[in-house]
Chains A and B, each alone.
Chain A
Amino acid sequence: MANARTLYDKIWADHLVSEDKDGTALIYIDRHLIHEVTSPQAFEGLRLSGRTARAPEKALAVVDHNIPTIDRSQGISDPESALQVETLAKNCAEFGIEYFDESDKRQGIVHVIGPEQGFTLPGTTIVCGDSHTATHGAFGALAMGIGTSEVEHVLATQTLIQKKEKNMRVTVDGVLPDGVGAKDVILSIIGEIGTAGGTGYVIEYAGTVIRGLSMEGRMTVCNMSIEGGARAGMVAPDETTFEYFRSRPRSPQGADYGQAVDYWKSLCTDDGAAFDTEVRLDAAKLPPVVTWGTSPENVVSVTGSVPDPGTVSDQAKRRAMERALDYMGLKPGTNMSDVEIDRAFIGSCTNGRIEDLRVAAAIASGNRVHERVNALVVPGSGLVKAQAEAEGLDKIFINAGFEWREPGCSMCLAMNDDKLKPGERCASTSNRNFEGRQGYRGRTHLVSPAMAAAAAIAGHFVDIRDWR
């Protein structure tokens, strides 16, 4: 069909302010999320040029990257972090932007609180000075990470200069084996397309497996679109999505809700719409996965072993593998299930929501964290934390020897005190295993919440499908 359009085509068209002959376009931004790390220079830029925020009511700010996850009553001891947090508070007051500070019950990771509040909505354009903004694509929004100059641009103009990307569809059909979840799906996708595979694309995730995922699972998948190099990742909204927004603090109410749902229903890829690239995965074949290297594409089944660079003919790839294995302190051929860990981290905008904590708590229940392992559980937001405590999950974790913390990014990027020591090996539910990501010379293995909890207890990676 000539006029058949993809979901991305539709949202793009509905936000196009202007387009030049060479395709350079101005698109309107409906929602702008702000945090302390990537915003100070943007506000400073506005001040220096005497500009104001065009639509401050379309922005929401929160502190997440820098703050301690232990008792906050004493304030933030690191003076630089404290200054950055204070700066955000001042900037928000000056430019009229609503701000959740560290004592607000709604405070949490920016990508957890946006949906939770109903600030994120289907069919919107959403940006944030943070690459994992892709998370919000789970709701059928066009959600993109931007740099600080673009944060300033959005504040001043409520628009962004862009060119349209190509369309990619990743279809996951079939039935996931027990123990295999959304995190394994997205890590497998990245393993398949590579970390640059999505460069130049917006990905739409489709297929029975994606349809069957809860909103939380879809967020886990979309969150890591950036690890596949894509500008954004999205899932067409459906009943699961509409239900999610029935009672959020900022979602449309009453007649508005009905009208919104009618519009949201139009947000699906038309039959016959063309994708520039199609990727298909068979769910039945997906195992629980673990990363072995320092790139999120370095995935292997938990039943597999560390690969051998000697078998790779491409010189640059071989060298990259050797460098990664050296950094990770791993020998080719080692069974992943023999790899012992020192730390476990359950949290982040990939896996710090209530369902993730429930899965991890079910594994932890009645067990003990291995004596060598230090394990952290960091809820994605204050509301997630409160919900978990209402369900008694905190007690389960604490009784099993996990530490139960205050919400924030924490050891996902280790900007606060939660970090690996040199050489420490961590089973982490976060999204990046780069060198130094979780602490100088720390070693990160990306896994699902179930796999991280099981590894914390066993002291090494275990096939969650065999968990007693």
Chain B
Amino acid sequence: MEKFTNLTGVAAPLEIMNVDTDMIIPKQYLKTIARTGLGKGLFSEMRYDDDGNDVPDFVLNKPAYKDARILVAGDNFGCGSSREHAPWALKDFGIRCIISTSFADIFYNNCFKNSVLPIVLPQEDVDKLMDDASRGANAIVSIDLEAQEIRGPDGGVIHFEIDPFRKHCLLNGLDDIGLTLEKADAIDTFEASAQAERPWL
């Protein structure tokens, strides 16, 4: 996996609650057998009109946010399906960090597997960043994962929490499967005892 250490870029405000995975990447894009190339489908039903042209009002279509790297969003971001196409699409578009008051469980997990950082903050911090993000191209925000800090355009610093194991994996770009395979002996032992206890499985 790609490492995640620091990120500096434009933050885009998406002030919608319950942004679901159908909004992030609609089903017509799920027919792919690849992980890449999904950026064009990101938020497509909000981003394009019926003829496939950009909807000028949609935040990521505004010139200031075309290169956004960070998304500041409403509560319960990523609810809905387990499709990992959602973080794939965000990442392919260029967004590597999403900030919200809460995330849906599976989406949250999926982000970490793709070196995309979801940050949970209290409402007042999200409000502050939403405000910062509304300043267009001047909405430059920096994330320092090691220090667990977000620096806004005014230089204000917000601290965030993250699970230590997940942080370690992101900072070092570690592959979960590789880590787990180091525990193959423990898996073998478990399998043998489970087989004895529940032979019908």
Contacts and interface: CB of A to CB of B under 8 A. Distances in A.
Contact of A147 (B84, B180, B181): B84
Given A130-B82, A256-B200, A80 B32 contact: yes
A83 B33 contact: yes
Interface string A118-136: 0001011000011101000
Interface stretch (B20-28, B59-67, B150-158): B20-28
Contacts of B110: 147-150
Contacts of A259: 199-200
Nearest to B75: A196
Contacts of B83: 37-38, 147
Interface string A21-42: 0101010101000000110110
Contacts of B177: 49, 51, 152-153, 156-157
A244 interface: no
A251 B179 CA distance: 34
Contacts of B198: 123, 260, 263
Nearest to A55: B191
Contact of A22 (B30, B76, B165): B165
A295 interface: yes
A435 B165 CA distance: 35
Residue with the greatest number of chain A CB neighbours at <10 A, chosen from B31, B45, B106, B197 = B31
A44 interface: yes
B22 to A, nearest CB: 4
A414 interface: yes
Contact of A18 (B22, B34, B164, B186): B186
A131 B84 CA distance: 11
Given A145-B106, A149-B176, A252-B200, A323 B16 contact: yes
Measured as residues with beta carbon below 8 angstroms from the partner, the interface class of chain A is 35 or more
Interface string B158-181: 000001110000000000110111
Interface string B124-142: 0000000000000000000
Contacts of A80: 31-32
Contact of A436 (B26, B75, B104, B187): B26
B115 to A, nearest CB: 11
Given A123-B198, A131-B106, A196-B75, A18 B33 contact: no
Contacts of A38: 82-84
Nearest to B107: A147
A153 B181 CA distance: 10
B106 A146 contact: yes
A256 B195 CA distance: 12
A223 interface: no
Given A41-B34, A49-B177, A149-B176, A434 B23 contact: yes
Interface string B11-25: 000011110101100
Interface in A219-248: 226, 229-231
Interface residues of B, number: 56
Given A22-B164, A149-B114, A414-B27, A196 B32 contact: no
A84 interface: yes
Contact residues of A: prevailing secondary structure: loop
Which residue, of B15, B27, B76, B190, has the highest number of chain A Cβ atoms within 10 A? B27
B35 interface: yes
A256 B201 CA distance: 9
Given A28-B191, A161-B180, A229 B105 contact: yes
B5 interface: no
B47 interface: no
Interface of B: 15-18, 20, 22-23, 26-28, 30-35, 45, 50, 74-76, 79-84, 102-106, 109-110, 113-114, 163-165, 176-177, 179-181, 183-184, 186-187, 190-191, 194, 197-201
9 contacts: A17-B186, A28-B187, A51-B177, A84-B32, A260-B198, A320-B74, A413-B81, A434-B20, A434-B80
Interface of A: 14-15, 17-18, 20, 22, 24, 26, 28, 30, 37-38, 40-41, 44, 49, 51, 54, 65-66, 78, 80-81, 83-84, 87, 121, 123-124, 129-131, 133, 145-150, 152-153, 156-159, 161, 163, 195-196, 199-200, 226, 229-231, 252, 256-257, 259-260, 263, 295, 316-317, 319-320, 323, 413-415, 422, 432, 434-437, 440-441
Given A145-B106, A256-B200, 10 more contacts: A17-B186, A49-B177, A81-B31, A83-B33, A84-B32, A129-B84, A153-B177, A196-B75, A320-B17, A415-B30
